[in-house]
């Protein structure tokens, strides 16, 4: 899963990026000037439980890749702030984290949010207009081009929404429509987590940037309030120092974890687990995926030769303590291809090649 960090200049993007990485390696993004990326393990206590239980040779958590600096806003006087290539580096991401300066007092957070959202709308609008134009050319030449006609019809609706300043994530699209739009990588269709980057005083008083939060909810955006600098400082602490510092700051859990969870949740992703003596592994799937999809994630052979999936729900894993105990109790289910995987399922695929 890829997440692009965006926001106006000097809003704290890189500070948050470094906090999110928590010391993980960062590297340059090939082909995108000034962009950096890094990958972290998704914190998950269920995964930790399985690793402690089975002591596998290898533990492979679910991961998130963050990309910083790919959407560069120019501050040069004679250049447009948002160039035409503004979104190129983050077209392919699954979700956006939008960092807003709510610490310096020099920026109106609500206005900053609107400004960037407007650009996202415009980027999509330009995309739609270009495609509509090309489709109309085709349709003039060939009136019987049915798929093109259907696409044209949908894009005209999409254009109307965008012109009315409705982000596409608020449009109630059918699964078919969503599929048709997927290849466009529309920016306003991507889930967004807005991060209000507040100063230390605001963090400690707990006072909310409530106007901004209300706006975000209206736009179908997630909202997290944190202080990027403090989040970064937390990552510099030893494991012994961390709880003490969090308590002193009145922070329950580091907000970088909340950002990750919000992204996961906004994407509608679920996690399932597999294990054997070699490896415990967490896998990510879109909600609604089937046992066959899960098998395909693990290995294409497993999907091809799928027989049944042995499934243990996480609630039952907790109840019985281990797969083996659950097996003795007859709690392991045999599921068909069409079974809809639930968050936390532990799965063992039976297949033949
Ligand atoms: N007081 C305070 N300063 C912050 C906070 N977050 C970032 N800063 C400061 O703001 C400045 C910009 O931070 P960066 O993280 O580099 O911001 P950026 O969005 O990556 O900036 P560009 O990449 O240049 O657009 C730095 O001097 C940071 O120390 C914060 O939470 N509180
Ligand atoms: Mg930066």
- Average pLDDT over the chain reads 92
Residues 234 and 96 placed together within one structural domain of the fold: yes
Average pLDDT over residues 198-217: 87
Q: Per-residue pLDDT for 11 more than 90?
A: yes
Residue 75 has pLDDT above 80, yes or no: no
Whether 52 maps to a domain, the answer reads yes
Closest ligand to C-alpha of residue 8 is 1
User: How many domains does the chain contain in total?
Assistant: 3
Closest among 112, 102, 92 to 8, alpha carbons compared: 112
Q: Please state, in angstroms and rounded to a whole number, the distance separating the CA atoms of residues 112 and 91.
A: 21
Among protein residues, the one whose CA lies closest to atom 11 of ligand 1 = 10
180 and 195 in a single domain? The answer is no
Taking each helix axis as running N to C, give the angle between helix 146-163 and helix 175-182, from 0 to 180 degrees, rounded to the nearest 10: 90
Which ligand ends up closest to the CA of 255?
1
Q: What is the DSSP letter of 183?
A: T
Residue whose Cα lies nearest atom 30 of ligand 1: it is 229
Task: Count other C-beta atoms under 10 Å from residue 195's C-beta.
Answer: 29
Residues 27, 96, single domain; the answer is: yes
Order across the sheet with 269-275: list the strands: 58-60, 279-286, 269-275, 346-351, 306-312, 333-335
Which of 156, 173, 188 finishes a domain?
A: 188
Instruction: Determine the 3-state secondary structure of 205 from DSSP.
Output: helix
Residue 91 pLDDT more than 70? yes
pTM confidence score: 0.89
> Do 36 and 101 belong together in one domain?
yes
**Which ligand is located closest to the Cα atom of residue 36?**
2
Clarify whether residues 61 and 205 are in a common domain. Answer: yes
- pLDDT at site 252: 80
Nearest-CA residue for ligand 1 atom 5 is: 229
- When pLDDT is cut at 50, 70 and 90, the band that residue 204 belongs to is confident
Token reading at 138: 């085709």
Task: Specify whether 89 is located in the same domain as 216.
Answer: yes
* Ligand 2 center from residue 16 Cα (angstroms): 9
pLDDT at 88 over 80: no
276 in a structural domain: no
Burial (0-12, 13-18, 19+ Cβ within 10 Å), 84: exposed
- Inter-residue contact 337 to 306 (CB < 8 Å): yes
In this predicted structure, what is the pLDDT of residue 89?
78
Residue 179 within any structural domain of the chain: yes
Separation of CA 68 and ligand 2 centre (Å): 7
pLDDT value, residue 143: 81
Q: Whose CA is nearest to atom 1 of ligand 1?
A: 199
Q: Is 233 in the pocket of ligand 1 (CB under 6 A)?
A: no
| Amino acid 307: pLDDT | 97
Task: Tell me: do 20 and 80 sit in the same domain.
Answer: yes
Atom 25, ligand 1: which residue's CA is nearest? Answer: 9
Q: In 3D, which of 337, 338, 327 has the Cα closest to residue 346?
A: 327
Could you report the per-residue pLDDT of 226-270, keeping only the tens digit for each? 999 999 999 999 989 999 998 888 778 888 889 998 998 899 999
Among 92-106, 206-220, 271-285, which is the least confidently predicted range?
Answer: 206-220
List the beta bridge partners of residue 223. Answer: 194
Instruction: Tell me if 344 is assigned to some domain.
Output: yes
pLDDT at 74: 65
User: Is there a domain that residue 144 lies in?
Assistant: yes
The enclosing domain of 292 has a CATH number of 3.10.20.30
Dihedral of alpha carbons 326, 331, 336, 339, sign: negative
How far is CA 215 from its chain centroid?
A: 20
26: CA distance to ligand 2 center in Å? 13
Q: Are residue 178 and residue 216 in the same domain, yes or no?
A: no
Q: Tell me, what CATH number does 50's domain have?
A: 3.40.50.300
Pocket test for ligand 1, best of 15, 86, 99, 259 (most atoms within 8 A of CB): 15
For residue 282, being part of any structural domain is answered with: no
Domain co-membership, 172 together with 305: no
Q: How far is the CA of 146 from the centre of ligand 2 (A)?
A: 46
pLDDT score at 146 = 85
Q: Is the CB of 12 under 6 A from ligand 1?
A: yes
- Surrounding ion ligand 2 within 5 Å at CB are 13-14
Hey, whose CA ends up nearest to atom 6 of ligand 1?
12
Half-sphere exposure of 96 (CA within 13 A, CB side): 29
**Residue 12 CA, ligand 2 centroid: distance in Å:** 7
Handedness of CA 262, 11, 4, 273 (dihedral sign): negative
**Predicted local confidence at residue 201, as pLDDT:** 84
Listed residues 159, 188, 217: the one ending a domain = 188
Asked whether residue 272 is assigned to any structural domain, the reply reads: no
Asked if residue 281 is part of any domain, the answer here is no
Which pLDDT band, with edges at 50, 70 and 90, does 203 fall under? confident
pLDDT the model gives residue 78: 66
Tell me the CATH number at 147: 1.10.150.300
204: tokens are 């400690």
Q: Is 70 exceeded by the pLDDT of residue 76?
A: no
Residues 103 and 207 grouped into a single domain: yes
Q: Are residues 18 and 103 in the same domain?
A: yes
> So what's the pLDDT on residue 249?
81
> For residue range 183-198, what is the model confidence (pLDDT) as tens digits?
999 999 999 999 999 9
Q: How confident is the model at residue 80 (pLDDT cuts 50, 70, 90)?
A: low
- For the Cβ of 226 lying below 6 angstroms from any atom of ligand 1, the answer is no
- For a mutational test of ligand 1's pocket, the pick from 10, 19, 34, i.e. the residue with the most ligand atoms closer than 8 A to its C-beta, is 10
The secondary structure element, H or E, covering residue 131 is helix 109-141
pLDDT at residue 84 in the model: 58
Domain end, chosen from 232, 267, 302, is at: 267
Q: Which of 71-80, 125-134, 167-176, 212-221 has the lowest mean pLDDT?
A: 71-80
pLDDT value at position 63? 93
The whole domain housing 346 covers 288-351
- Lowest-pLDDT choice from 9-23, 46-60, 166-180, 197-211: 197-211
Assess whether the C-beta atom of 208 lies below 6 angstroms from ligand 1: no
Q: Whose CA is nearest to atom 32 of ligand 1?
A: 199
Ligand nearest to the CA of 7: 1
Cβ–ligand 1 contact at 197 (below 6 Å):
yes
Assess whether pLDDT exceeds 90 at residue 316. yes
Residue 200, CB-side half-sphere exposure with 13 Å CA sphere: 7
| Alpha carbon of 15 to ligand 2 centroid (Å) | 7
- Do 206 and 88 share a structural domain? yes
What tokens appear for 12 in the block?
Answer: 């704290």
Q: Averaged over 30-59, what is the pLDDT?
A: 93
Q: Measured in Å, how far apart are the chain's first and last C-alpha atoms?
A: 29
């Amino acid at each position: 899963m890829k997440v692009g960090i965006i926001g106006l200049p000097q809003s704290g993007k890189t500070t948050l990026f470094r906090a999110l990485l928590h010391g993980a390696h960062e590297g340059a993004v090939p082909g995108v000037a000034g962009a950096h990326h890094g990958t972290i393990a998704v914190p998950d206590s269920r995964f930790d439980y399985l690793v402690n239980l089975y002591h596998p040779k290898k533990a492979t958590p679910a991961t998130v890749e963050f990309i910083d600096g790919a959407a560069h806003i120019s501050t040069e006087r004679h250049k447009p702030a948002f160039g035409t290539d503004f979104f190129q580096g983050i077209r392919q991401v699954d979700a956006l984290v939008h960092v807003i300066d709510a610490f310096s007092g020099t920026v109106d957070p609500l206005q900053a949010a609107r400004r960037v959202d407007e650009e996202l709308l415009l980027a999509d609008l330009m995309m739609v207009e270009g495609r509509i134009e090309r489709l109309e050319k085709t349709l003039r030449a060939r009136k019987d081009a049915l798929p093109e006609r259907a696409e044209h019809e949908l894009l005209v609706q999409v254009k109307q929404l965008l012109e009315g300043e409705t982000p596409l994530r608020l449009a109630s699209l059918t699964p078919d429509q969503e599929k048709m739009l997927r290849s466009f990588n529309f920016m306003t269709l991507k889930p967004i987590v807005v991060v209000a980057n507040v100063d230390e005083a605001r963090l400690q008083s707990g006072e909310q940037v409530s106007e901004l939060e209300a706006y975000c909810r209206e736009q179908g955006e997630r909202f997290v309030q944190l202080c990027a600098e403090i989040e970064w400082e937390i990552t510099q602490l030893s494991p012994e120092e961390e709880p003490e510092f969090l308590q002193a700051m009145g922070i329950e859990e580091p907000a970088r974890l909340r950002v990750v969870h919000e992204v996961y949740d906004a994407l509608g992703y679920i996690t399932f687990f597999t294990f054997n003596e070699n490896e415990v592994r967490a896998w990510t799937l879109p909600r609604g995926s089937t046992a066959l999809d899960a098998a395909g994630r693990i290995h294409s052979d497993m999907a091809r030769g799928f027989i049944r999936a042995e499934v243990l729900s996480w609630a039952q894993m907790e109840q019985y303590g281990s797969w083996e105990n659950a097996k003795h109790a007859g709690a392991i289910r045999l599921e068909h291809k069409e079974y809809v995987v639930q968050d936390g399922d532990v799965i063992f695929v039976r297949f033949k090649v």
